[in-house]
Amino acid sequence: MIYDNYDNPRIPGNAADRSAIDIRRFLPESDHGSIVITTRSSQVSQGHRIHVQKLLDVREGLEILSYTSGRKGIENDPAAIELVKELDGLPLALCTAGAYLEHVALSFSKYLQLYKTSWLKLQTTSPQLGSYEDRSLYTTWQITLNQIQQRNAASVQLLKLWAYFDRQDLWFELLRHGSSMDNEGWIQKLTEDELSFSEAIRLLCNYGLVDADLSFRQLSGSSGYSIHSCVHSWSMSVLNKEWDEKLARLAFTCIASEVPTTNEKNWWLLQRRLLQHATRLEHFIVDGKVDGDGMDWILHNLGILYSDQGKLAEAEAMYNRALQGKEEALGPKHLSTLHTVNNLGLLYADQGKLADAEAMCNRGLQGFEEALGLRHISTLGLVHNLGNLYKDQGKLAEAEAMYNRALQGCEEVLGLKHTLTLLTINNLGVLYADQGKLAEAEAMYNQALQGKEEALGPKHLSTLDTVNNLGLLYADQGKLADAEAMYNRALQGKEEALGPKHISILDIVNDLGNLYANQGKLAEAEAMYNRALQGREEALGLKHTSTLNIVNDLGLLYAHQGKLVEAEAMCNRALQGKEEALGPKHTLTLDTVNNLGLLYANQGKLAEAEAMYNRALQGYEGAIAPKFLSSYLPALNTMLNLGNLFSRTGRKDMAKVMYTRALSGYTIVQGPFSKRCIQIEGQLQALQLMPVETETPQHVPSEARMPKEKSRVRRLFHKLRT
């Protein structure tokens, strides 16, 4: 015997509900046979409970769709598979789709399009199922909804609001911020404490509309709840028959209010939870469904979220909308406007738009100095960010001046152990390393690392940035085992926090590729470079300087592997892109010039190689102060490569000058007994055996290690909340 749809059982809490039924009155008294009761209510407790879940295997969904639609051989049909995934294993939804497709000449992809754009009309015009004549997908849930409405109206309101969030991972703390916009008071009552929220959400769980999602039980708030994709579509198309501007703005407020800055504990975990909800709301903005009036602070905070999560194009769109609105409503010099100016400048720097970034940072700095004074933390933040920008532009003296100004101010205002002070110390270490002042850089990194481990913990992203920087420094010093250990610690920590495709992880992947190349592990290096290149092209575009860095490194690797045609194409692509983005005299551009010279030398194009080496060395001499040039590794590599070229063409005296300059510098940086120094001493001795001047190559010394593009992390001082 089967009792179907026993969804409203009589329990102590609903004795007044005349529609509630005590099924025990209808059970036979026989002592043999079986009774099956189907219900959506988890409060039915008779007998042995079997929880029927959605179909987890796509193949099972395809079988139902194939049988009900009468269409065979759909196992490998991409459109059919996509439709089954959208219906997310719900048998009634699969049967309804199949019944509709059995009677029309629509493709699976066209049905899916209609499902997303005309859900209610599609459901009401679908034929009734022979095995379920009195019910359709949406009427089944409507009956359930009526029962929920009688017991807790807030549960129904929550279901309506959920249509404007992503269907996965809604949690208590996310909704608390909506009380400020709740004129009717229901959201305030719902979130006055976690017990009230749990009561409303538990009712939805009892009727099978919502599931507890324990996968997000982390350090970023309470555990979340998820709703089935079909129920989510129903909530938008049926519960919200018309677009509800009030509920949409309520969702925007909840998400934007919860966005943390990078100074907050476990900020990256919370941002990952928020991102999917923000992505859903972004479509509403782009489609023009939401009036932007009064939403400037919301757009600003969404810009922070997208920027921190590596979605730079989306962040730029949000910041520009916010800036336009603030300038019109508040004026160009209002502090809130300047906060957006600051963040937009940081974003432009991340995108490689350095001129735009400098203009924004200078505008912001001038505004903060006038409004807040020279020692305010926001002013010091922009001073620090200008230091980052100047370093990226190769203006190293200006960068050092900015860092020192920021560090002095932070120490006086915030103290030595404050996280912002430690960020400045880290970034000074980055600058010193780029200048070849490796001992000073190591001291800065160790000071920053010790402070961050104490203040933030060993797995904080800012701590891992400094760990990665120490790995780069060890690689420069030839301590490859120590470098690999640091890289792997940083990579493991960031993958756990951000996932494998986040843009900051790609920096470490690139650094590991460099390390493997230097260790002669060319296959492992190529795999790392390709992973990093694919990720950066997707996130930043083909012409971003970070993308071009990987292109440069792949060119070097191809040269090592003897793939000279592919290597030349990569190096030329990197050089052209950097000349456009950074200018011909930027140190990163000069690195690629040097590498192209090395490639020409390997191809036997010695005149072209010499021209490239000379251009690179002259550029380094113009960009780096003389007292630091002797320990600047890219310049030393170019000197060594020129020495090799002169030796190869028999120009003994010119080779000796270059070898001597390079040896002096490598001795300072790596020590007199390093592999590189021993190699150069051997080449100097070999020169003594060569004829004085000859055009015929007498000796081909080993080449200098090709300089790689460093991914030193100079964590931004901070983005500013409105």
Reported as a pLDDT band with limits 50, 70 and 90, residue 390 is confident
Q: How far is CA 515 from the centre of its chain?
A: 24
Tokens of 198: 């749990």
Percent of the chain residues past pLDDT 90, beyond the cut: 36
List 225's β-bridge partners, or say none: 170, 212
Question: Contact, 491 vs 512, CB < 8 A?
Answer: yes
Strand 210-213 relative to strand 36-37, pairing: unpaired
Confidence class for position 714, pLDDT limits 50, 70, 90 = very low
Chain segment 318-355, per-residue pLDDT in tens: 999 999 999 999 999 999 999 999 999 999 887 778 88
For the chain, what are the domain ranges?
58-124, 147-279, 517-687
711, 717, 712: which is closest to 345 by C-alpha?
Answer: 717
Give the orientation angle of helix 245-258 with respect to helix 296-308, to 10 degrees.
50
Q: What is the pLDDT of residue 126?
A: 61
Provide the 8-state DSSP code for 238: I
Average pLDDT, the chain: 83
For residue 527, with 0-12 CB atoms within 10 Å meaning exposed, 13-18 middle and 19 or more buried, which class applies? middle
Structure token digits, residue 29: 């008294």
Dihedral over Cα of 257, 457, 445, 494: its sign: negative
Q: How far is the C-alpha of 300 from the C-alpha of 659, rounded, in Å?
A: 54
Give me the pLDDT at residue 703, please.
46
Which one, of 230, 658, 713, lies nearest residue 504 by Cα?
Answer: 713
Element (H, E) at 636: helix 633-648
The correct answer on CATH 2.60.120.10 for the domain covering 517-687 is no
pLDDT tens readout for residues 225-253 = 998 888 888 888 778 877 888 899 999 99
Which position has the token pair 């904080």?
Answer: 460
Q: What is the pLDDT of residue 143?
A: 67
- Mean pLDDT for 677-685 is 90
Give the amino acid at 287: D
Average pLDDT over residues 700-710: 40
- For the stretch 596-622, pLDDT in tens is 998 899 889 999 999 999 999 999 998
Q: Which residues contact 692 (CB under 8 A, 6 or more apart)?
A: 652, 653
Read off the pLDDT of residues 195-207 as tens digits, 9 standing for 90 and up: 999 989 988 888 7
Q: Which amino acid is at 80?
A: A
SS (H, E, C) 580-629: HHHCCCCHHHHHHHHHHHHHHHHHCCHHHHHHHHHHHHHHHHHHCCHHHH
User: Residue 699 pLDDT > 50, yes or no?
Assistant: no
Q: How confident is the model at residue 707 (pLDDT cuts 50, 70, 90)?
A: very low
Reading the block at residue 703, the tokens are: 């080449």
How far apart CA 607 and CA 288 sit, in angstroms, is: 59
- Sign for the pseudo-dihedral over CA of 158, 160, 164, 166: positive
pTM: 0.68
The predicted-structure confidence for 511-544, as pLDDT tens digits, reads as follows 999 999 988 899 999 999 999 999 888 877 788 8
Q: Are 286 and 240 in contact (CB under 8 A)?
A: no
Q: How far apart are CA 680 and CA 368, in angstroms?
A: 52
The pair of structure tokens assigned to 301 is 């905070």
How much is the pLDDT for 695? Answer: 40
pLDDT 10s digits, 427-468: 999 988 877 788 899 999 999 999 999 988 999 888 999 999
Per-residue pLDDT for 133 more than 70?
no
